[in-house]
Amino acid sequence: MGRGYIVEDTVERYLSKLCEQAGPVTGLLIGQSSAQRDFVVMAIRTPQSEESTAGNSVDKELVSEHARQVSRMLPGGLSVLGVFIITDTDVKDTLTTLRQLVFAVENLISSERLWNPADDEVTDSVMLHVNTKTRKTVCRTFDVKDPKSTAKPADWKYQSGVCSSWATVSCCLNVNLLVPLPHDKTSAENMAECLKEGLKVWAHQIESGVCLIDGKKLPEDSELIAGQRRNVRQMFTAQLLITSKDQRLPDVVQLCGGSVSVRGAIHSRAFLHSNKPKAKLAEKLLKRDVVSTVASRVQMLLEEENQSGDKQQTEQLCLPRRVFCPVKVNGPVCVCDYQFSDEGLAEVIDRLKEMLDIDAAEEDLDTRQEMTAEVTESSDTAEPAVELAEASEPKKNNYIGVAMATAVALLATAASMLYLSDA
């Protein structure tokens, strides 16, 4: 037998309910991988579009795009582990389709990641087939790093309280980074690529930072909950310390068309399975969440700006704030969404329903961790690089959201020189 999957029993009830729907139903499996086994805490059906309601074909692009959107809404420790399909056809008739879905999902999600997987990273993705007639489930895995990978059998077991005693690690981090914009400012693709490369540099700085958990630098192989009751939820507060050497970008003189400044404070959170989690895992998942939440917000704002088409010479824009929502299982696990300043909580609730199939009420949402960023007017427009008003320091559980300033289009002349250093 191959990998083992320990699955929250609410997933079984959810899949059984989907068996009552007509036509093939596809969706995502959400959870956390470990060296020994994987833990599945959620199943999420693919949202239906007008095109997908017709016929019995599976829309590969719709499933993979849904996975991309969902991955942005998953805090540290949660990821898309694979896909499922509920159909009245036999598993051997859908194996090729499922294999294509698994690889399409992984390729799109990995294209947005700003880190390289570790050597010991789990590279198996799961596919689950549920027959609507017999209710029989078949579980297989594919090694997504091997294009020639074939299906391997896997063990699928339901269990109650899978994440009831998971540990939570959280931190607040001040963000202050400056990224040059391309000389060809008219190209949205060039600007997006430059931003991604700049964020990769920053992501490496985060990865190299020192992580303190409850004020201590723990040995990598030490158990996070060693000596404590294993069936009790554990909450830890972390600090990420970035040395001055790591904070500074290399001093260079670069021909560019402007800059993007991202400043403010973010709340980051990671969840760890209860099977003897190590301090090394907590640090890795928390750092990845820090990078992912900033990168996701920058990407969302770029997408928003591209749709609006409203370009100013100098813009000060607020990135959306992070809002958490508990998963409807017995445990600390939450998902998140990003609320723009012109949105109400109703829009957040609608997205949670559409993307994650979660029925949430306003009182379920945790909006305390980050406050909406405030943009202040600046009369200083002489410099080609835009300076954003300083965000206040975080106080208690209230954090100022990350804000973004852009200098695009006609702001800087074609020959302007930008001296880059840590602002």
Per residue in 175-191, pLDDT tens?
A: 888 887 766 655 666 77
**Cα dihedral angle (246, 251, 254, 259), rounded to 10 degrees?**
50
Q: Which two tokens stand for residue 163?
A: 């994440």
Spatial separation of the C-alpha atoms in residues 288 and 78, rounded to whole Å: 11
Kindly list the domain boundaries of the chain, sorted by start residue: 4-159, 167-206+249-276+290-420
Q: In terms of CATH, what superfamily is 4-159?
A: Cytidine Deaminase, domain 2 (3.40.140.10)
279 against 115, higher pLDDT: 279
Quick one: pLDDT at residue 390? 32
Average pLDDT on 354-367 reads 95
**Residues in a beta bridge with 83:** 28, 127
Whole-structure pTM value: 0.85
Is the Cβ–Cβ distance between 409 and 185 less than 8 Å? yes
Give the N- to C-terminal CA distance of the chain in Å, as an integer: 55
Token representation of residue 322: 């992070």
The yes-or-no verdict on residue 244 having pLDDT over 90 is no
**Between these two residues, 244 and 44, which has the higher pLDDT value?**
44
Q: Would you say residue 336 has pLDDT above 60?
A: yes
Other CB atoms within 10 A of residue 264 CB: 28
